[in-house]
Amino acid sequence: MDLGLTGRRAAVAAASAGLGYASAKSLADEGALVVICGRDRGRIDDAAQRIGHGCVAIVQDVRDAAGGAAFIASATEALGGLDVVVANAGGPPAGNFESTPVDAYDTALDLSLMSVIGMAKVAVPAMQEQGWGRFVAITSLSVRQPMATLILSNTARAGVTGFLKTVAREVAKDGVTVNSVQPGLHATDRLLSLYGGATDGAAMGIPAGFIGDPADFGAVVAFLCSHQARFITGLQLHVDGGSYGGLQ
Ligand code: NAD
């Protein structure tokens, strides 16, 4: 299926590795012109090289609203506008209620909530103006099913999900869709560090019996950015091999 992404201009945040990288790779393979960012020049250049198709690498930390906004401004300048944004960042540290100090919430909210708001505030109005846009945020299954040892993620991602749903309904009339994708367990550096290198999906309780492949996740993101996904907005899509046990 041709996703209609040829020549579309896309910015993917925090894409030197993991789910951001996989999303950027899928978009580039589908013909989009892609700009990515990361914090380290060597790593982000290497990622752009592997993505190919003329992918542009920018050094930018998206740890807060200003960082997110700066990335979108740079990507817009590099490509002369943006049609697609994939908002992403590294996840906040693990911890439960007892172990997590109050000031850690500020940092996590900056990283996982305010950075997305910073990106949206710059990208979405321009998309509305041009009458076409796709804004997709990578969040977490923890929105749907809070995880005991990830209280920072549980808290911040619920906020960003409410924000995105509100924006989606406000801008739908302008040809702009706003969605989030909620990863369950996927084989990335973050997963390996959180779970001590474990990769046995069946033993980890994933009904599909295997851990998610970031490339499959990237393909889902690319579909949400497609022409054909124009009637999908305000969605929170969990990609989790059946891990979530609820109905909604
Ligand atoms: P990862 O740590 O494997 O990769 C994240 C990438 O982003 C790395 O290249 C890192 O260098 C870069 N990065 C981190 N912080 C950044 C910043 N402030 N500015 C710029 N670049 C930054 O993570 P991942 O597994 O790809 O996860 C991506 C997102 O999805 C995270 O928010 C994570 O919490 C969430 N998530 C992942 C999983 C999973 O199973 N992998 C599950 C649920 C949620």
pLDDT of residue 56: 98
Pocket of ligand 1, candidates 12, 19, 43: which has the most ligand atoms within 8 Å of its Cβ, to mutate?
19
The answer to the question of residue 26 being in a domain is yes
Of 44, 188, 199, best ligand 1 pocket probe by most atoms within 8 Å of the beta carbon: 188
Residue 4 forms part of a structural domain: no
Which residue out of 64, 190, 195 has the highest number of ligand 1 atoms within 8 Å of its CB and is therefore the one to mutate? 190
According to the model, what pLDDT value does residue 194 have? Answer: 78
**CB of 88 sitting under 6 A from ligand 1:** yes
Domain CATH number, residue 100? 3.40.50.720
* Overall domain count for the chain: 1
Report yes or no on 248 lying in a domain: no
Residue pLDDT tens, the chain, 248 long: 999 999 999 999 999 999 999 999 999 999 999 999 999 999 999 999 999 999 999 999 999 999 999 999 999 999 999 999 999 999 999 999 999 999 999 999 999 999 999 999 999 999 999 999 999 999 999 999 999 999 999 999 999 999 999 999 999 999 999 999 999 999 998 888 877 777 789 988 999 999 999 999 999 999 999 999 999 999 999 999 999 999 98
Verify whether ligand 1 is closer than 6 Å to residue 183 (CB atom). Answer: yes
Q: How many CB atoms within 10 Å of residue 54?
A: 9
Q: What's the confidence (pLDDT) of residue 190?
A: 81
Task: Tell me the HSE value of 69 on the side-chain side, using a 13 A CA sphere.
Answer: 10
Q: Return the residue matching tokens 């005991």.
A: 148
Q: Please name the residue whose Cα sits nearest to atom 2 of ligand 1.
A: 190
DSSP type of residue 210: S
pTM of the entire predicted model: 0.98
Q: Compute φ and ψ for 98, nearest 5 degrees.
A: -65, -40
Which residue range forms the structural domain that includes residue 119?
Answer: 9-239
Q: Which residues contact 113 (CB under 8 A, 6 or more apart)?
A: 156, 157, 159, 160, 163
Q: What is the Å distance from ligand 1's center to 198 Cα?
A: 17
In a domain, 247, yes or no: no
Is the residue at 166 inside a domain? yes
Which atom of ligand 1 lies closest to the CA of 142?
Answer: 43
So what's the pLDDT on residue 165? 98
101 domain-assigned: yes
Burial class (CB in 10 A: 0-12, 13-18, 19+), 189: exposed
Indicate whether 3 belongs to any domain: no
